[in-house]
Amino acid sequence: MKRWRHFTVAVGIMPALAIYVGAMVWLSTFIIEVHFLLDLLFFTVAGLAWIPAASAVVKWLAQHEAE
């Protein structure tokens, strides 16, 4: 069993998510308070946009663990 993949994912996902959150906060400074619906749309999309990338990483991990 190759546990290095678990370590790689654990060490890699947290900084990547922190960078993503920082980028979205920075981007939100240009969008916030223009209009309520624009704020709602931006934060909804930004809040859910990281999920496909994280699922791809978890799927990669699960496929290689099944071997």
Look up the domain containing 9 and give its range: 4-66
pLDDT of res. 65: 73
Nearest to 24, CA basis, from 6, 9, 8, 44: 44
What DSSP string describes 3-67? THHHHHHHHHHHHHHHHHHHHHHHHHHHHTTS-HHHHHHHHHHHHHTHHHHHHHHHHHHHHHHH-
pLDDT for res 44:
95
* Global confidence as pTM: 0.75
Q: Which positions of the chain have pLDDT values less than 50?
A: none
Tokens encoding 55: 């699922």
Q: How high is the pLDDT of residue 27? A: 93
Q: 17-33, pLDDT tens digit by residue?
A: 999 999 999 999 998 88
**Number of domains the chain contains:** 1
